[in-house]
Amino acid sequence: MAPTFPVPFRAFRQKIADPANHGPKHFSCSRSPYMLNKIDPLISSPNMLLTTIILVSTIGFFILLKNFIFVLKWIFVILLRPSKDLKRIYGSWALIIGSTDGIGKAFAFKLAEKDSYPEIEIKIFKLDFSEGDVVSRFRVMGRMIEGLDIGVLINNVGVTYPGAMYFHEVDEKIWMNLVRVNVQGTSYVTKVVLKGMVARRRGAIVNMGSGASVVPSHPLYAIYSATKGYVDQLSRSLYVKYKQYGIDVQCQVYIFDF
Ligand SMILES: NC(=O)c1ccc[n+]([C@@H]2O[C@H](COP(=O)([O-])OP(=O)(O)OC[C@H]3O[C@@H](n4cnc5c(N)ncnc54)[C@H](OP(=O)(O)O)[C@@H]3O)[C@@H](O)[C@H]2O)c1
């Protein structure tokens, strides 16, 4: 009598029994008598059974251990690891681009917390990334920061659309602004600051990416997510190339939206 299988198995058997199917004839579901005949002697031998159990338990143990170490490491990094002495490791100045509001402002306050307030000195550079001749503006910026031991660069400045939009609806002025601020601005500032960091052989660059560039797609903010994809890849490449000069590069990716 033909064995009774649950529906999926039956469907599978029927498919391979179909003469039109040119798949291997002996390949059947794991409950076939053919497979059982092969497995039975293994399981019935006590030594083999014990070896199998030990092998499977050992593999399971190492998988659990790996995950356990991962969780422990995460707890240490998030909650217990002492913070770095940024000034000593990287240099005495932090340059925060776009520090008047939002995340940049929060960074400014957080960095100021690390030291005692009376010792803090603040220099303000006013620069509009979206207006005028960008190249000459960054030359000016280069002159402004000349001689400053900039240890940390927070490349925070970034803009997006006024609201969700189809790609073809985005006004040219808006997307040119996005490219100027998010792509050109980030790149020029990095270039200007890196020069000094390389000479001092130390520094840290924190670029502001976005969850928009790591999710599978961000359809109604296509240009914004593409510019943030640029920031992400730029950061990865700089990290690899400038590690040898004692410069750390990080891209922070926020998974929430404007
Ligand atoms: N907030 C989020 O949900 C989120 C999520 C993912 C990623 N991000 C990224 O995180 C970064 C900061 O976001 P945020 O929400 O904190 O932004 P925000 O509150 O709008 O602040 C942006 C900062 O950039 C400056 N800025 C804007 N346009 C400028 C321009 N053309 N020239 C010079 N400076 C300019 C602003 O200065 P003014 O005040 O003078 O204009 C402000 O200091 C951005 O790169 C953004 O893409 C944010």
What are 69-125's pLDDT values in tens digits?
999 999 999 999 998 889 999 999 999 999 999 999 999 998 888 655 567 888 898
Residue 130 Cβ < 6 Å to ligand 1: yes
Residue 158 Cβ < 6 Å to ligand 1: yes
Domain count, the chain: 2
What pLDDT does 162 receive? Answer: 92
What pLDDT does 11 receive? Answer: 43
| Structural domain harbouring 34 | 7-80
What pLDDT does 21 receive? Answer: 52
Please list, in sequence order, all residues whose beta carbon lies within 8 angstroms of the beta carbon of residue 201, skipping any fewer than 6 positions away.
Answer: 245, 246, 247
Same domain, 28 and 130: no
Q: Is 237 within a domain?
A: yes
Question: Ligand 1 test: best mutation among 184, 210, 223, most atoms within 8 Å of CB?
Answer: 210
Q: Long-range contact list for 163-167, CB < 8 A, 24+ apart?
A: 164/220, 164/221, 165/220, 165/221, 166/220, 167/222, 167/223
pTM (two decimals): 0.77
Distance 188 CA to ligand 1 centre (A): 17
Same domain, 24 and 122: no
Domain boundary, last residue among 35, 53, 80 = 80
Tell me which of 40-49, 142-151, 186-195, 228-237 is least confident. Answer: 40-49
